[in-house]
Each structure stands twice: as structure tokens, then as C-alpha cells.
Structure 1
Amino acid sequence: MKKSVLIIITFLHSLFGNAQAFQGGETLEYKMYFNWQFVWLTAGTATMTIQEREYKGKKAFRCALTTRSSQKIDRYFRMRDTLLCYTTPECLPLYYRKGASEGKRYYVDELFYNYDNGVHVIMKELTSRGERLQQERRFQKPVYDMLAIFLKARNYNTNGWKKGYTIVFPIADGGGVKNAKIKYLGNKTVKADDGNKYNCLQLAYIEPEGKKEKEIVRFFVTDDKNHVPIRLDLHLNFGSAKAFLKTMKGVKNPVTAKL
């Protein structure tokens, strides 16, 4: 194993510890709602699955997230998104793809990671105008995508966190890399669409927008060893949406956050 890979894995373990919050076979299903002229409408569904697979002959996690808008919402804004990533068992990203059909737009982001000499990322983009773009970047520390950072964040050791605690990390898509943040906003009791209430940690995902910052998503994750997202508040360019957990299957640890 290359020395650079050992350094990266050591860096990951120093941040997040050895406890894995999830396992292969986990499935999370969500019901989505969209705010339309002060009324919350059923917007569609989302499903996330985690499986143990191989990537180029080595053990890996395969995570997939699919979202689908309802027929009612399709009349205003049709959404069919599929996100896929492969990571090492330590949540180091290996591959990422997002294929998004949103309204009249269709675009694809694709990332390829290599760790033979530092961190090498190939970023490909099929724009909504049909352009095919590609760039390559090298980094000294790990770079993440939307799904890999989701898995990584679930492994956070949150013991001792105080309100306002912030972690900064580089996030990539087909168009490039920027520094994003996850900020802890305290605890809150949240009711899911499975009828249960959970004690949750509030985590805000924040990205730069010009000279300012914008909160993209707020996660409410169980305050236990699983860190299962119970609710997501999404701040979209065309409005706001919420996703509430409907079912969870195959979680690794006892769900002690359930009240």
C-alpha cells in the first residue's frame, strides 16, 4: 500500500474513530414534501441503499440514492435524480456519478479518484447544454463528493460537540472543487413518517455562494451510533423541500435515539 494512502486513512481515523455507523444491506426510504405557495404538497420519494461490493477488485461500499417526484409535482417540476458512489471501507471516495433530470434540464457529474501519488481526481461533466467537459486536479488531502461526505459524516464521533462546532472540507462535482462546511446546531426531537419520534443532532451542510454562504441542506440524524437521517430540509433554487424517514431496514446498531 502506498505511503500516501496510509497517511489518508490515518487522517480519517483520527477524525472519525473506528466505529462504523452503517453496514451493507441498509435501506432508508423517505417521503418528500415540497412547499408550493405556502402549502406543503407530497412531492415524491427517495431511497438510499448501502451495499458491500468490490471496486477494481477491492472491498468497497456502494451507496445509491434515487429521488423521484410524484405525478402531481411532475406537472410543475419533474425530478428524476440518481446518485451513486463507491468508497473504501474507511469512506475514502473511489467513484461518484450523479445523473439529474430536473425540469427541462438533464446533466451528469462524474468523478474518478486515484491515490497512487497524493489525491488525483478526474472530474467529468455533461452540462444541460450538451457540453462534455473534463478537468483533473491533485490534492494533498482527501476530496469528497455529496454521497461520500454523507457516509463520512455518519461516522463522526460527536461526543463533546458544542453548538456551533464546524468542520470544513473540500467538496467536488463535475464542475470543480470548493470548500464546504458541516455545522452542528444542537439537538432536536423530530417525528418521522414511520410514526416514531427521535432525538436528533442538527447538522447544516453549507456551501459558498459568491462572497456569502448558503445552507443547502439541514440534516436531523439520530443521536446514537447509527446517525440515521430522520429528516432533511432542502433549500432549493426554486423553493424548499423536506424529506421524512418512512422506513429503515438493516441498520447496524440498536436505534437508541427512538423515544
Structure 2
Amino acid sequence: MKKYLLVLTVFLVPNLIQAQCLEQNQAYKAGEEIWYDVKYNWGIIWVDAGEVMFAVEDAKWEGYDAHWFKGYGRSMPKWDWVYKVRDTFDAIGTLEQLKPLYFHRNTSEGSYKVNNKYWFEKEKNVIKTEVYNSDAEETTTKTVSYDDCIWDVLSAIYYARNLDFTNYNTDQKIPFNLIVDGKVHNLFVRYLGKEQLEMPDEKVYNTIKFSALLVDGTIFDGGEDMTVWVTDDQNKIPLKVQAKIQVGWVKAFLKKTKGLKYGDITPLNP
């Protein structure tokens, strides 16, 4: 479910400002759970294609107090005969600054399989990677240079929720660095301002809107073809994500939440 989880991630390339590390987590806490419905554009209709869940738990990692981030995605059982997806993502990051410590991606998308692991060795400024995909049919290991401002796919979501968009002007690029499939990419999000968003249940929310530069690969063609709307509050929960993929479009809508740090998000028309 690479396409489902990646469209819920925000990504980055250096422009007028440099990529910044997270000074302190403000947006989430252990016990949070967020669920999404994923829809796919099949010809002229939209179908319920899958669901995605994110969760945060307290953890310990090699002496560090940490958070354990979990991401799970699947296709709906009724569509498994067309394209079965069962994906899990796990990441460990430090409590306050969300510095990545460990990452594991185990994904099954049709006949395509991926099993990637990263170990972030802060003292040596390196990332040890173990990368497998069914196209290569073998596992490769290598070491990648590491600095404090680099994120894996899952921890990047939580980093982005801590961005203070009041510090940016409309159309300004916000950079950070992402490791995907053992390679570091310099990408960006572009702040598009504020907007009122109506959800499928007809509730309306104040949101912050931005687009994202995508990594060229098996799902995306690359380019700035993803748009995200997050709640304009302290939680900064993504409400809607839409992205162009190589065959059609995909959209994700917030379904339900649990354990938010600042309480339930509030629509303008409850």
C-alpha cells in the first residue's frame, strides 16, 4: 500500500531555506490513532479501495525513551481479487525531537513485495540499510551518510504535523530530506494558504492546504501532484489527501480518530 501511505506523507527539496530539524514535538501523544478511507478513481467513478491506520505508542529503544509509530494499510477485501494490498510500516523515534532510530517497511502489493529496514546510528552519522524488493529478487545492504534532519516515510508524517505554517508565505517551499528504498531524496512541500474544506459527510473545517513534490517511481510519475488539507488547529490532522498516480487518481479522507493530544477536531457546522 505504498500509494496509500505515501499520499498521506508530506515531502520536500531545498529552495530559499534549509531543511530544519524538529525542536520539540507539539502535535501528538502516545495513544493516538487515526483512520482513513481510501478511494480510487476507476474510469469515471470513485470506488472505496482501502483503508489506512496510523498509531503512536510509548517505547524504549537502546536506552532511549521513544515513540513507536505504526502505519497499516490494506485494500478492501472485495477488491483483493483485483489488487491485494497488505502493508505495515513501523518506526521508532525519540520523544521530543522525533529523531529516527529504526524503520521497517513490509509491504505486499499484488505481486510486488518490499521488505526494508533502516538503523539510524546517530553517534556515527550513518544509516545502515537492508533493502529488498521482488524486482531485484535479492536483499542489498549498504551504509548511507546521515544527518539529524533526515526522515523515513512514517516519521516524516509526524514531523510535518509539527510544522508552524504561520512562519511561511503562500507559495513558499518548505524542504526536508527523506530516505526511500535506501536512497535519500531532497523534496519539498509548498504552502498554499488556508481554505475551508467540506468533507463527504458535509461537515466543513478550517484547513491549511499544501502541495507536495513526489518521488518518481512505480506509483507516481514524480512532480508536484499531491495536495493535502490538514486541520488548522494544534492537532494538524490530515483531513483529505489527493494525488495523481500513474493510472488515475487516489483520495484519502479522515474516517475517525482516537486519543488526540488536543481533543477532537471541531467542524464549523457541528
Deviation of 1:68 (Å): 0.9
Q: Give the alignment's TM-score, normalised by structure 2.
A: 0.82
Structure 1 residue 163 and structure 2 residue 176: aligned?
A: no
The C-alpha deviation readout for 1:173-210, integer Å capped at 9, x for no partner, is 23311111121122222234566321111122213549
Query: 1:191 is matched with which residue: 195, 198, 201?
Result: 198
State the distance in 2 between where 1:247 and 1:134 align.
39
Please tell me the residue identity of whatever aligns with 1:47. M
Structure 1 residue 206 and structure 2 residue 183: aligned?
A: no
Deviation of 1:22 (Å): 0.5
Unaligned runs of 5+ in 1: 1-13
Structure 1 residue 230 and structure 2 residue 239: aligned?
A: yes
Unaligned runs of 5+ in 2: 1-19
Query: 1:82 is matched with which residue: 77, 88, 92?
Result: 88
Structure 1 residues 234, 213: closer, same or farther in 2, change over 3 A?
closer
Is the 2:21–2:149 Cα contact (8 Å) retained in structure 1?
no
Identical pairs, percent = 25
Residue matched to 1:29: 35
Structure 1 residue 242 and structure 2 residue 251: aligned?
A: yes
Is the 1:31–1:193 Cα contact (8 Å) retained in structure 2?
no
Is the 1:43–1:73 Cα contact (8 Å) retained in structure 2?
yes
Query: 1:58 is matched with which residue: 34, 58, 64?
Result: 64
Deviation of 1:105 (Å): 0.8
Is the 1:193–1:245 Cα contact (8 Å) retained in structure 2?
no
Q: Give the alignment's TM-score, normalised by structure 1.
A: 0.86
Is the 2:235–2:261 Cα contact (8 Å) retained in structure 1?
yes
State the distance in 1 between where 2:224 and 2:115 align.
23
CA RMSD of aligned residues (A): 2.3
1:14-25 mapped onto 2 (5 Å cutoff): 16=22, 18=24, 20-25=26-31
The C-alpha deviation readout for 1:107-161, integer Å capped at 9, x for no partner, is 11221101113x2111211111321011102234422111111111111112142
Structure 1 residues 15, 87: closer, same or farther in 2, change over 3 A?
closer
State the distance in 2 between where 1:214 and 1:198 align.
28
Runs of 4+ in 1 over 4 A off after TM superposition: 14-17, 254-257
> Which range moved further: 35-44 or 67-76?
67-76
Residue matched to 1:134: 141
State the distance in 1 between where 2:60 and 2:202 align.
36
Structure 1 residues 225, 237: closer, same or farther in 2, change over 3 A?
same
SS of 2:166's equivalent in the other structure is: coil
Q: Which has the higher contact order (CA 8 A, sep 6+)?
A: 2
Structure 1 residues 213, 120: closer, same or farther in 2, change over 3 A?
same
Please tell me the residue identity of whatever aligns with 1:120. V
State the distance in 2 between where 1:167 and 1:180 align.
9
Count of aligned residue pairs for this structure pair: 245
State the distance in 2 between where 1:124 and 1:66 align.
20
State the distance in 2 between where 1:45 and 1:84 align.
17
State the distance in 2 between where 1:221 and 1:171 align.
20
